[in-house]
Amino acid sequence: MSDLTARAEKLDAADELAAKRAEFVLDDVVYLDGNSLGALPAVVPGRVADVVSRQWGELRIRSWEESGWWTAPERVGDRIAPLLGAAPGQVVVGDSTSVNIFKALVAAVRMAGEGRDEILVDATTFPTDGYIAASAARMTGRTLRPVLPAEVPDALGDRTAAVLLNHVDYRTGRLHDLPSLTAAAHRAGALAVWDLCHSAGALPVGLDEHGVDLAVGCTYKYLNGGPGSPAYLYVRAGLQDRFDSPLPGWNSHAEPFGMRPEYEPAPGAPRGRVGTPDILSMLALEAALDVWDAVSIEAVRAKSLALTDFFLECVSAYVAPGRVESLTPVPHAERGSQVALRCADAGEVMKRLIERGVVGDFRAPDVLRFGFTPLYVGFADVERAARVLGEVLG
């Protein structure tokens, strides 16, 4: 047994979150792609079967009231809120991340006022965020300016309406400084919109504490909601009465069953809704969130950093010098819950890793990406993944 293998066993034995692994459907594969699709929580199949066979099959339309379907977007939002550092009544679940980015960004521009004609967007953002930001700028008559997150404080000015930023960079795993960048936007009189797809469920976010205006995120990564599970929209309580959605659907009406031709937005988080919610995936997500019962997001963050530290150490020990280059920041304050390694033949390497039971993913042109979900990834998994990587790279 190598020193690293022995250390991994000791670390797993002392892990306060280790028992959570049994709440997921897993096999002998080392699954390090939870930053793309989280593993299946064991409670979900039975809960979904009940939704299909009893709530839909037997109760049918009565389930909108009797099974709580109508209130699910706000109810599930309130379950996600603590993981985002948000008080109840500020998160609504529904639609996709892309749709919610559009709602949030256009609403932010409208709240900023006519005198502000520029939107700043993270120049390294996930492509969809950039596409949506460009469309929102065209539709609102604003100019879109891509800037690096580090350049945002200097780029802000009295023309800035809103800033759209990613909390964690999807390629490198770099964690951006949400508190200071939000504060900089506010000093300039602009609104801050954050994409939390790669941070929610992996580290503390502190939306309320740091005065974030609007935020969006998916639920199928670290929240383990399932493929295509609905996204969420956060609107700070102090802005909700001014939130003017560009997609005013009947579900966000103050009187949805009044069927009136004039639109009157509902109070609070429900004005972020649009159309009929996707109940099957919504309630699968609600079931998946059971794994977070009695879990501290601070404990999750501590284990995340320990896992990524240990992985980088194991890679250094097992992989020949110069074969890979880590793109993920070393300082904890700058690191999310993934490690990105640059490798000349990354696509082929990832295929070989998957064949040997280590699942990560590949991002063109040359990045191996490994996501660490603390609720079910252990230190023995980390050591094995690095050891197999070293063997694959020769």
Active site residues: 126, 195, 220-221, 369
Helices (H), the chain: 3-13, 44-50, 63-66, 72-84, 97-112, 127-140, 152-155, 178-187, 279-288, 297-318, 346-355, 379-392
In this structure, are residues 187 and 216 in contact, taking their beta carbons and an 8 Å threshold? no
- Give the whole-angstrom CA distance, residue 220 versus residue 380: 24
Dihedral of the CA atoms 77, 78, 80, 84 (nearest 10)? 110
Dihedral of the CA atoms 191, 119, 110, 139 (nearest 10)? -160
Which DSSP symbol is given to 291? G
- Give the whole-angstrom CA distance, residue 219 versus residue 227: 9
- Give the whole-angstrom CA distance, residue 337 versus residue 326: 14
**Helix (H/G/I), strand (E/B), else coil: 133:** helix
**Helix (H/G/I), strand (E/B), else coil: 254:** coil
DSSP string, 95-127: S-HHHHHHHHHHHHHHHH-TT--EEEEETT--H
